[in-house]
Amino acid sequence: MNLKDTKIFIPEIPKEWERRTRSGHTNTWNDPFHRNGLPEVSLEPPMRGLYAERFDDGWYWVCGCNKCLGNGQSYSYIVCEDHNRCVTCNTHRKDLTETPWGHPDGFECQPCTADRKEELKLAALARAKELNLDEWDHYREDKIICPVCFSENSNDDMHQSNEYDLACSVCDTEFAVEVEYDPKYTSSLKK
Ligand SMILES: [Zn+2]
Ligand SMILES: [Zn+2]
Ligand SMILES: [Zn+2]
């Protein structure tokens, strides 16, 4: 049976119970937060990818994995065992040696992210060489341009006139950025 069509009755939970919260794969009924006087019960689904849903005749384990459901939605709250893989190379999470990066469709393993970053870096360096820009192309610009690969960098945390150190997000070159603020002030009477 496909996980997506799974519907497994949960005999432990009376159908009258309505308050169910989730924490990862754990489903909890009557969390103390709800103060409804009913006993708190926590259950793990019989397999990863299922969560508890209330139907007219009681509670059932049903599929919550967006990929199994094929609903095209990002940021699946839970993922089944089979879909717990790198979005790029398909390596299973249990086979990873390093913590992966989050991704709208799950996660990407560190080697894949590093490969992609290396490709972007090489492309940017090749483009910079081709364009043959000089220092005037990153002088008093309205954005931060890396002096080596000419990629645009973010100006997070640069909120005043000062000199800042930055490492290019594309080619990793460390460079200095001089920020000049040129504020304009408009005054008006309060309404
Ligand atoms: Zn799945
Ligand atoms: Zn990967
Ligand atoms: Zn760069």
Which pLDDT band, with edges at 50, 70 and 90, does 1 fall under? low
Around ion ligand 2, which residues have CB less than 5 A away? 86, 88-89, 109, 112
Which of the ligands is closest to the CA of residue 109? 2
- Examine the domain organization and report whether 98 and 169 are in the same domain: no
Task: Tell me: do 17 and 60 sit in the same domain.
Answer: yes
Instruction: Tell how far the Cα of 144 is from the centroid of ligand 1, in angstroms.
Output: 42
Structural domains counted in the chain: 3
Q: What is the mean pLDDT of residues 61-66?
A: 97
**Are 62 and 6 contacting, i.e. CB atoms less than 8 angstroms apart?**
yes
Is the confidence at residue 69, as pLDDT, over 90? yes
Worst-scoring range by mean pLDDT, 5-9, 66-70, 110-114, 157-161? Answer: 157-161
Looking at the structure, do residues 62 and 44 belong to the same domain, yes or no? yes
Average pLDDT over residues 53-70: 96
Give the ligand at the shortest distance from the Cα of 144: 3
pTM above 0.95, yes or no: no
Q: 52 CA distance to ligand 1 centroid (A)?
A: 16
Q: 28: which 2 tokens?
A: 């909890």
Q: What percent of the chain has pLDDT over 70?
A: 99
Together in a domain, 63 and 19: yes
Beta bridge partners of 3: none
Name which of 60, 59, 64 is nearest 48 in CA terms: 64
Per the listing, tokens 């799950």 go with 106
Note whether residue 167 is domain-resident: yes
Q: Rounded to whole angstroms, how far apart are CA atoms 81 and 151?
A: 39
Tens digit of each residue's pLDDT (9 = 90 or more) over 103-162: 999 999 999 999 999 999 999 999 999 988 888 888 888 899 999 999 999 988 888 889
Residue 191 inside a domain? The answer is no
63 and 108 share one domain: no
Q: Where are the alpha helices (DSSP H) in the chain?
A: 66-69, 110-131
Q: Give yes or no for a contact between 53 and 72, defined as CB atoms under 8 angstroms apart.
A: no
77 plus 9 within the same structural domain = yes
Question: Is residue 9 located within the same domain as residue 55?
Answer: yes
169 within domain boundaries? yes
Instruction: Give yes or no: residues 76 and 30 share one domain.
Output: yes
Distance 16 CA to ligand 1 centre (A): 30
Same domain, 37 and 58: yes
Please tell me whether residues 100 and 29 are part of one structural domain.
no
What is the Cα–Cα distance from 72 to 103, expressed in whole angstroms? 14
Q: Quick one: 77 and 11 in the same domain? A: yes
Residue 93: domain span? 85-132
